[in-house]
Amino acid sequence: MGWQWFHRLGSPRWFYEKTSRWMFWLALVTVVLLIVGTVWGLAFAPMDSKQGNSYRIIFIHVPTAFLALAGYYVMAIAGAVGIIWQIKLSYMVMRSAATIGAVLTFIALLTGAVWGKPTWGTWWVWDARITSMLVLFFLYLGVIALQGAYQNGVTANKASAILALVGTVNIPIIYKSVDWWFTLHQPATLKFMGESSIDISMAYPLLVMISGFYCLYAWLMLHWTRAEIVESEQKTVWVRDLLKG
Amino acid sequence: MLFQFESLTDFMYMSGHGPYVWGSYIVTAIALGALVVLPLLKQRQSFIRLKRQQRIEAGQSQSLIIK
């Protein structure tokens, strides 16, 4: 059967060379989307009738929170693939996803707190959504810490992959938290199915920002994984040639 | 689509929410910038290490020739 592609995908060299061609174009699309979305959101989208201008934080808060959740699945799945098929590259993806995810979760929490101050009158509440997001942040940090806790790379990879897999329980909880416990955090304004409760004039720049952040995430994942490849394969001839040239 | 503010000062001030909004955007930009720069520094370190190793290897082969 045609399993060759799968094993080729697991080859760091093949991955590095294949993705080299994508980096520039992906970066270009990302930069354009993020600039258009930011300018649109900050200067041209109308002011919110209830929250005033503070709502403009939504254009970074929602995309980063989205990706913090989606990125957790990327990390957990990469970890599972690593455990099952013993693929080195898969663990590199998992390690990259942990750092990027932690930073995105941090941004989502921070912008949420800053948005909360003028809107709710407080920086922080132990609301279900916020608390489960904080747990997500600690899970990401846990994976990073476990990675550094073992001398042996193989053990470290396995341990953090298992933690990542166990932590996936938290993701549906975060997602559903605004419906299960109706506390302070507002429910989702954008919906995949059914009518969104956000006005079109605000939804368009938000969608541009979400697509921009998705591209940024993809680019960052490739960027970090490529750096991991260069570091771990630096004794091979092809990386030596690469660094020389 | 119109520019929503009267002036540039008004845009900065954002009817009192300026520090919150601009602060969020600036911190986000710094954090994301770090994610872009860190792997580049790591790659540069690998490069420097490789150069040093190559110099050592070259030096060893020279001393062999002298002997």
Nearest to A100 among B27, B28, B35 (CB): B35
Buried/exposed code over A176-215 (b: 16+ C-beta within 10 A; e: otherwise): ebbeeeeebbeeeeeeeeeeeebeeebebbbebbbbbbbb
Domain ranges of chain B: 42-67
Crossing angle between the packed helical segments A58-85 and A153-167, to the nearest 10 degrees = 130
pLDDT of residue B49: 85
Largest CA distance in chain A: 62
Q: Does B48 reach chain A within 8 Å, measured CB to CB?
A: no
Q: Do B40 and A227 touch (CB under 8 A)?
A: yes
Question: Is a pLDDT exceeding 90 seen at residue B22?
Answer: yes
* CB-CB neighbors (< 8 A) of A56 in chain B: 14, 17, 21
Per-residue pLDDT in tens (0 to 9) along chain A, 245 residues: 566 777 777 789 999 999 999 999 999 999 999 999 999 999 999 988 888 899 999 999 999 999 999 999 999 999 999 999 988 999 999 999 999 999 999 999 999 999 999 988 889 988 889 999 999 999 999 999 999 899 888 999 999 999 999 999 999 999 888 878 767 788 777 766 666 778 888 899 999 999 999 999 999 999 999 999 998 888 888 888 887 76
Looking up tokens 């476990």 gives A146
CB pair distance less than 8 Å for B28 and A60: yes
Q: Please enumerate in sequence order all residues whose Cβ is within 8 A of that of A184, keeping only pairs 6 or more positions apart, or say none.
A: A120, A125, A127
**A141 with A109: CB under 8 angstroms?**
no
Q: How confident is the model at residue B1, as a pLDDT?
A: 77
What is the rounded distance in angstroms from the CA atom of residue B21 to the CA atom of residue A82? 41
Q: Taking CB atoms and an 8 Å cutoff, what residues of chain A touch B21? A: 42, 53-54, 56-57
Q: Please write down the HEC assignment for all residues of chain A.
A: CCCHHHHHHCCHHHHHHHHHHHHHHHHHHHHHHHHHHHHHHHHHCCCECCCEHHHHHHHHHHHHHHHHHHHHHHHHHHHHHHHHHCCHHHHHHHHHHHHHHHHHHHHHHHHHHHHHHHHHCCCCCCCHHHHHHHHHHHHHHHHHHHHHHCCCHHHHHHHHHHHHHHHCCHHHHHHHHHHHCCCCCCCCCCCCCCCCCCCHHHHHHHHHHHHHHHHHHHHHHHHHHHHHHHHHCCCCHHHHHHHHC
Q: Do A43 and B17 touch (CB under 8 A)?
A: no
DSSP annotation of B3 reads -
* Closest Cβ–Cβ partner in B2, B15, B39 for A227: B39
Q: Where are the domains of chain A?
A: 65-234
A148: Cα separation from own chain's centroid: 21
**Amino acid letter, A17:** E
Q: CA nearest B40 in A: which residue? A: A227
Higher pLDDT, A102 or B49: A102
- C-beta atoms of A44 and B4 within 8 A: yes
B30 inside 8 A of chain A by CB: no
What is the per-residue pLDDT for A1?
52
Alpha-carbon distance A93 to A82, whole Å? 9
- Closest by Cβ to A57, choosing from B21, B40, B50: B21
Residue pair A58/A46 in contact (Cβ under 8 Å)? The answer is: no
The answer to whether the Cα torsion of A100, A104, A107, A113 is positive or negative is negative
A235 Cα to chain B: minimum distance (Å): 9
Polymer length in residues for chain B:
67
- pTM for this one? 0.91
* Other beta carbons within 10 Å of A57: 25
Identify the closest residue of chain A to B16 by CA–CA distance.
A53
